[in-house]
Structure 1
Amino acid sequence: MDFRYNTEQLDFRDSMRAFLQEAPLSWVRDVAGAHGHDARLWQRLCRELELPGLTVPEEYGGVGGTLVESAIAFEEFGRALTPVPLAGHAFVVQAVLSMGSEEQRQRLLPALLNGERIATFTATGPGATDPAAATVSASRDAGRTVLDGVSTPVLHGHVAGLFVVAARADEAVGLYVINADAPGVSVERLPSFDITRPVARVTLQQAEAEPLDAAPDQFERVLDTARVLLAAEMLGGAEACLALSVEYSCSRRQFDRAIGMFQAVKHMCAEMAIEIDATRVAVMFAAMSAGDPGELAIAAPLVKAQAADTFTLCASTATQVHGGIAFTWEHDLHLYLRRAKTTEALFGSSTQHRALLADRVGL
């Protein structure tokens, strides 16, 4: 496999990076502290760059690209920490595309692709497909499908108009679509350790929903796709931590020389670079092999664990390189450390993902 992006993909990466440079971290901090979401920027991303529709076939109004293009976009968003609901929204688009009926695709996708409606995915904890771990139940009532339970944390739940909920029914877990303004739906924004990615609690009481009808293995594939995209996002964050460290070690001086001249600092930056290179190869392999369900099932938990460990290592090491200033609220580095720790826990820890990988390969 050729682990290189083609010319079009490199151009797309450069355009994404240039676009997101218009939103510096000082602006990110202001938006995150206030609302956690910039509606105008989100509209531009949807309509000018067609971001939600990168992997959606043209027949549904999408771009018709592959998971590679989506991974490139997520990597750049991880680098910039842009406060938009990309993660949850992209997972919902993938769920509707993979598990929805033809009628549901035609009805739901247009508003999701043009940014008219924000959606988010509620299966953010470990064991999303395990009935014993499901916190929401689905049942039939007077010919309707209704949901009961509490789902938390839900990414950008406070601005979403549509939820795709993982719920237990008949000893199996399926996905259900529900409107945020439906009777019986209550959304409460919660404090978030990562201020650039707010979360909410969604409480459902006899809330009417519609199921996405597909085989259970499709649910696993949606989760695996989400794992690969999160890994790409964490790769971008790790790269940003290394870039900040190199810049600081070249400008900060001690004993009449830049601290980057000291062997200990060189070793810390080298260790970050080595782990980033390994993670980049893993992310590219997972994205490029996503068309093969067997390959994706193996690569997804592996790359999620690898990227989570790399991002956490780079954020922690960059904090050491920066010394005392990195611990202050005024410095931007702590934003990456917060993102690293919260994203590490999404869909389960690195230990849980390695256990999932072991199960899938029969160990």
Structure 2
Amino acid sequence: MDFQYSAEQDALRASLRGFLHSGDGQENRLWRRLCYELELPGLHVPPEYGGVGATLVETAIAFEEFGRVLSPVPFAATMFAIEAILRTGDEEQCKTLLAGLLSGEQIGTLAWCGGDFSTTNVRAERRDGRTVLTGHCTPVLHGHVADVFVVPAAADGAVRLHVVAAAAAGVTVTPLNSFDATRPVAALQLLQTPAEVLAAGSADDIERVLDAARVLLAAEMLGGAEACLDMAVEYARSRRQFDRPIGSFQAVKHACADMLIEVDATRATVMYAAMNAVDDRELAVTAPLAKAQAADTFALCAGSAIQVHGGIAFTWEHDLHRYFRRAKSAEAMFGSSAQHRALLADRVGL
């Protein structure tokens, strides 16, 4: 395979990076512009459903750039919901459910941050000719602003994904305190709530939803790690002690070199995972590997960058503590690094 980005993909990255750094102080307005002007939610959605028709690589590039700036817009939450509908909805459901999400008129979220859909606390049953859900999900990314929830629910020993409208009867959303102030979370409570079951997904399809989310989250963490490395190097070059830049001291050099090595390894892992995502067997192996590698790298880079900056990095006035908070919260999503390595071992038969 050609293990490099194309000119078009590099142009997408440059365009999005410039867009995000240009600044737009109002979150809702920024989200609408990202949807209408750049069509980001539809990057890897087929054209017949209103998408751009690119691949998961382009979406991963977008995730990386959002991670680089810790953007608070609900891009990750909505993309996880879109991926779930794409993989487990039938043709008619994809056409009807994706329209509002792609246009930005609706915000979606996958109401699951755990490691395995089989541990869902939501139960589905048939009542009066319709499917209703009862149970709770927590934490739910951007749950307080979501219009559409994709919820895993169990019935008759099997888990299926269901779509629930935020305005439906029996839905209660409670904002929660989040360790990461740039990524709000909420608790979702359902009580005999009407839901639409996504009809086309097999058990393997549902598992691949989580795998795709793992790859995209790994790309976001890669962007955050790169930002931490850039800030550390810039500070090491400009901050002076004993009439020398602190970057000339061996301990600081080693810290920055260790960060660079891990960032390069993570970049290669994320690229490979995204470029091979069309092969479900490859995705099953590369997704947990990419998530574990990226989580460890982001935590290392955030922590090391704080050490390079010294006391200033612990203050609310500096951005680094925000990257550290994002690193720790993202590390826990869909399971820890140890859980992902155990999952990888199971899948390859070790």
TM alignment of 1:336-355, pairs within 5 A: 336-355=323-342
Shift of 1:94: 1.1
Q: What's the secondary structure of 1:158's corresponding residue?
A: coil
Q: Indicate which of 85, 92, 96 corresponds to 2:74.
A: 85
1:55 partnered with 2:44:
yes
User: Equivalents in 1 of 2:332, 2:157: separation in Å?
Assistant: 25
Partner of 1:195: 181
CA distance in 1, matches of 2:62, 2:332: 21
One-letter amino acid matched to 2:186: A
User: 2:61 — aligned with what?
Assistant: 72
Show the counterpart of 1:125: 114
| Counterpart position of 1:101 | 90
Classify the secondary structure of the residue corresponding to 2:22.
Answer: coil
Give the Cα separation in 1 of the matches to 2:155 and 2:73. 32
Deviations 1:165-186 (A, max 9, x none): 0111111211000000100000
Structure 1 residues without counterparts, runs of 5 or longer: 32-37
Q: What CA distance in whole angstroms lies between the structure 1 residues aligned with 2:48 and 2:154?
A: 32
TM-score for both structures, normalised by structure 1: 0.95
- The aligned residue for residue 10 of structure 2 is 10
Aligned-pair distance for 1:229? 0.2
Which aligned pairs between 1:26-41 and structure 2 lie closer than 5 A? 38-41=27-30
Contact 1:250 1:258 in 2 (8 A): yes
Who is 2:172 aligned against?
Answer: 186
SS in 1 for 2:137: strand
Residue 93 of structure 1 contacts residue 109 of structure 1 at CA under 8 Å; is this kept in 2?
Answer: yes
Please say which of residues 264-273 and 137-146 is displaced more in the overlay: 137-146
Trace 1:155-170 onto structure 2 (pairs within 5 A): 155-170=141-156
1:271 match: secondary structure: helix
| Number of the residue aligned with 2:138 | 152
For 1:152, give the aligned amino acid.
T
Q: For each residue in 1:160-213, what CA deviation from the matched residue of structure 2 results, as whole angstroms up to 9, or x when unmatched?
A: 011000111111211000000100000011110100000000000000101112
Does the 8 Å CA contact 1:23/1:82 hold for their aligned counterparts?
no
The answer as to whether partners of 1:190 and 1:201 remain within 8 angstroms in 2 is yes
CA root-mean-square deviation:
1.0
How do 1:189-228 and structure 2 match up within 5 A? 189-213=175-199, 214-228=201-215
Equivalent of 2:269, from 282, 302, 325?
Answer: 282
Mean CA deviation greater in 62-71 or 142-151: 142-151
Please, what TM-score do these two structures have when normalized by structure 2?
A: 0.98
Give the alignment of 1:251-262 within 5 angstroms.
251-262=238-249
Q: How many residues align?
A: 349
1:2 deviates by: 2.4
Opposite residue 21 of structure 2, the aligned amino acid is: Q
Q: Which amino acid aligns with 1:293?
A: D
CA drift at 1:329: 1.1
CA–CA distance in 2 between the matches of 1:293 and 1:127? 17
1:135–1:167 Cα contact (<8 Å) kept: yes
Taking every aligned residue pair, what percent have the same amino acid on both sides?
65
Aligned-partner SS, 1:11: helix
Contact 1:237–1:311 (Cα < 8 Å) also in 2? yes
Q: Please give the per-residue CA displacement for 1:273-299, whole angstroms capped at 9, x wherever unaligned.
A: 000000000000000001111101000
**For residues 136 and 161 of structure 2, what CA distance do their matches in structure 1 show?**
15
Q: Deviations over 1:220-270 (max 9, x none)?
A: 111110000000000000000000001111111111111000000000000
- Inter-partner Cα distance in structure 1 for 2:321 and 2:269: 26
Structure 1 CA distance for aligned equivalents of residues 72 and 251 of structure 2: 34
Q: Secondary structure at the match of 1:159?
A: coil
Structure-1 separation of matches of 2:346 and 2:154? 22
User: For 1:40-92, what per-residue CA distance to the aligned partner results, in whole angstroms no more than 9, with x for missing partners?
Assistant: 11000001000000011111111000000000000000001111001110011
Contact 1:135–1:151 (CA under 8 A) maintained in structure 2: yes
**Consecutive unaligned residues in structure 2, runs of 5 or more:** none
Regions of 4+ moved over 2 Å:
none
Shift of 1:23: 2.9
Report the residue type matching 2:192 in the other structure.
Q
Three-state SS of the structure 2 residue aligned to 1:12 is helix
Residue by residue over 1:96-123, the C-alpha shift from the partner in whole angstroms, topping out at 9 and shown as x without a partner, is 1111111111111111100011110012
The answer for the alignment partner of 2:301 in structure 1 is 314
Letter in 2 for 1:13: R
